[in-house]
Amino acid sequence: MTEHSNPSKPPTIRDVAREAGVSKSLVSLVFNGGENVSEERRKRVLHAAELLGYRPNLVAQSLSAGRRDVVAILVANLHNPLFAEIVSAAKARLVEAGQRTLIVSAQVDDDDGSAVLDRDNIAILRDLRPSGLIAVGTIRGFAELADLTATIPTVVASAMDTTKDVVAVVRSDDNTGLDLVVAHLAEQGVEQIAFIGGDGSRVSASREAAFRAAAARHGFGDNARVERADFTEADARRAVAELLTQGRLPQAIIAMNDLTAIGVISALEAAGVSVPGDCLVTGYDDTMLAAIPRISLTSVDPDNRRIGSAAAEALLASAEGRVGEVLVTPRLVVRGSSHAA
């Protein structure tokens, strides 16, 4: 552990060069793995750098003909604990591959509480000229970032995107996930089921389609209904009311994610319908919410760490061309909310 003697500004490449008695360029070479540097000089430089506590300035590096080793991870928002797992797994894989990462949030909540692109963050990211981009979660207005995705290899994780120029979309295999759920419910002897999907997001649409397919496959036919609700509890309540007034209450409700499921449970219970007594409920994502004993929600674990590492993998492989869609196989976590008993 050595201290750098100059108390004011951080040392620059020039300071190191002077200390080592070599030129700037040589220092740069050493720090960028240049092969053709004499062992002696290399040592001198490294030693001087250590002595001074020199760290290359990333901003300068990026300005000067973009460095190709920093990957930006754009997180949809700071709310969703889900994303944290994906991000850390992706980062771990990237670091392993010798890449630097910059993790920034893509959206902020404006005054109305709705998410909007964080233009400041995006602008800085753009100017940093990252070598790659991983977008985690559904980002509203992601299409506006076309100038980025067109230039920079981009992978979308845990979201869907139609943009032609993303290297890969890595997400949970909704078909398998919903099949697991429907099969489980069928096993419990359920005969009428309903799906409560979300807002207009593509993920929601995909899960809805997956539900319809799974329901058909398991012979539910007309006994499978679909309702929509955004993620607010108020809206879940509305959707449930809808379901209730349509006559018969389904014996099970499949929510597109855990948050919606909790809204559904709340709405059902507020209406005097007990869960799982009178109606089973399942979620998707297997967030920590699902595991809380009082909630004990059967949910689909999408294996977020695998999604994250697969996204990183896809990006690293992007040199070899488009990867396309990577579907990560989920597994069902059965809890109290789906045991009629």
Partner DNA sequence: ATGAAAGCGCTAACAG
Partner DNA sequence: CTGTTAGCGCTTTCAT
Longest dimension (CA), the chain: 86
Contact flag: residue 127 with a copy of itself (CB under 8 A): yes
**Other C-beta atoms lying within 10 Å of the C-beta of residue 147:** 9
> What residue ranges bind DNA (CB under 7 A)?
9, 12-14, 21-29, 31-32, 36-38, 40-41, 54-57, 60-61, 63-65, 67
Measure the CA–CA gap between 170 and 26, rounded to whole angstroms: 42
- Residue 201: C-alpha distances to residues 105, 129, 213, 225, 266 (Å): 19, 29, 19, 19, 23
CA-nearest of 84, 74, 154, 153 to 117 is: 74
Which of DNA, a copy of itself, none sits in contact with 12, Cβ below 5 to 8 A by type?
DNA
Measure the CA–CA gap between 272 and 172, rounded to whole angstroms: 34
Q: Smallest distance, Å, CB 143 to DNA? A: 24
Measure the CA–CA gap between 260 and 227, rounded to whole angstroms: 12
Q: How far is the first Cα of the chain from the last one, in angstroms, to the nearest whole number?
A: 63
Interface residue with a copy of itself, options 26, 256, 265, 332 (CB under 8 A)? 265
Interface residue with a copy of itself, options 117, 213, 226, 289 (CB under 8 A)? 289
Contact flag: residue 97 with a copy of itself (CB under 8 A): no
**Other C-beta atoms lying within 10 Å of the C-beta of residue 101:** 21
Scan residues 176-215 and list those touching a copy of itself (CB under 8 A).
Answer: none
Measure the CA–CA gap between 189 and 114, rounded to whole angstroms: 40
Measure the CA–CA gap between 144 and 249, rounded to whole angstroms: 42
Closer to DNA at the Cβ: 27 or 262? 27
Angle subtended at Cα 223 by Cα 230 and Cα 274, rounded to the nearest 5 degrees: 60
Interface residue with a copy of itself, options 35, 39, 40, 111 (CB under 8 A)? 111
Closer to a copy of itself at the Cβ: 83 or 220? 83
Query: Which range in 12-20, 171-179, 241-249, 261-269 contacts a copy of itself by CB under 8 A?
Result: 261-269
Q: Smallest distance, Å, CB 145 to DNA? A: 19
Contact (CB, 8 A) for 51 and 4: yes
Contact flag: residue 55 with a copy of itself (CB under 8 A): yes
Interface residue with a copy of itself, options 62, 188, 201, 223 (CB under 8 A)? 62
Closer to a copy of itself at the Cβ: 240 or 323? 240
Is the backbone peptide bond immediately before 276 cis, with ω within 30 degrees of 0? yes
Interface residue with a copy of itself, options 188, 192, 223, 266 (CB under 8 A)? 266
Binding site for a copy of itself (CB under 8 A): 10, 55, 57-60, 62-63, 70, 75, 77-81, 83-85, 87-88, 91-92, 100-105, 108-111, 118, 120-121, 123-124, 127-129, 147, 262, 265-266, 269-270, 289, 292-295
